[in-house]
Amino acid sequence: MTFQPEAIRAFEHAGWQRAASRYEATFAHATARYIEPLLEVACVAAGRRVLDVACGPGQLAAAAARRGARVHALDFSAAMVRIARDANPGIVVSEGDAERMPYADEQYDAVVSSFGMHHVPRPEMALAECRRVLVPGGIVGFTVWAAPAENIAWKLIFDAIDRHGDRSAARAFPPSGALNQIDHCVRALEGTGFAAVTGEIARATWILPDGQALVAALSAGTVRMAALLDAQTPQALSAIVADIDRRAERYRQDGRLALPIAAVLASGRKPAP
């Protein structure tokens, strides 16, 4: 399929508009595990000016504000912006595009993005914008989901779909960039002019009652995975859930699933002149 950035943006935008009201109660339980490590790598502290890009409902922005940072937040989904504003009246939340940020040059000491860069059609443009709005010496930090081989929750889903469903059924556009490995993220940062680039796999555990809850969380609180799951037939979906339950049994602890999840945590510093 020919790369179509505007079509990808429209697909992502429509999906996040739909998912906004359900995100916090579902998928945010997975992403929240990485908030503090991301703030640490970006050196977010009291008095620092911080921009949260692709802020969603504002959980990362709120955590930065609790550290005493002066926080602005940006998201392209009006529905997400409304939720973030309602939850965080002390934070300036704006609607806008990560590839064309509505901010002047050299405004922020840190720019952070929690699981947003892999939803941008052209991540390199978003990272260039991050560099533009950072002061010299400022830090960008972001998380993206690691490849399924590192991510048991994702691997369970994809393997079950391959056995009982149809991975080609969804009409979703392909991912816009291969930002699911450390070297990909490092190259993207270095390619947009960042120095002192770091990348690591950050691991966490997502607690869920069963396979049905995993499928429900991904269907309600994501876009691309939701499109894939929604495209399966009811019969296939039932078989997918049953397959996940069987194969996830080894991760059951105290009656619940403790699924290993993994993200790439990457950062870079804007060089001084």
Q: Which residue has the tokens 């945590």?
A: 265
- The pLDDT of 173-189, averaged and rounded, is 80
- DSSP label of 272: P
Residue 171 reports pLDDT greater than 70? no
Q: What is the pLDDT of residues 104-151, one digit of tens each?
A: 999 999 999 999 999 999 999 999 999 999 999 999 999 999 999 889
Residue 45 reports pLDDT greater than 90? yes
- The pLDDT of 181-189, averaged and rounded, is 95
Residue 173 reports pLDDT greater than 70? no
The pLDDT of residue 165: 94
Q: Is 1 helix (H, G, I), strand (E, B) or coil?
A: coil
CA distance 270 to 62: 24
CA distance 148 to 218: 14
The pLDDT of residue 172: 59
Give the domain extent around 125.
Answer: 5-269
CA distance 188 to 94: 25
- Percentage, residues of the chain above pLDDT 70: 97
Asked if 41 and 141 count as a contact pair (C-beta separation under 8 A), the reply is: yes
Asked if 43 and 141 count as a contact pair (C-beta separation under 8 A), the reply is: no
The domain that holds 52 is classified in CATH as 3.40.50.150
- Phi then psi for 113, rounded to 5 degrees? -145, 120
- The pLDDT of 50-75, averaged and rounded, is 98
The pLDDT of residue 176: 46
CA distance 120 to 85: 22
What is the number of domains present in the chain?
Answer: 1
What does pLDDT average to over the chain? 95
- DSSP label of 174: P
CA distance 35 to 257: 22
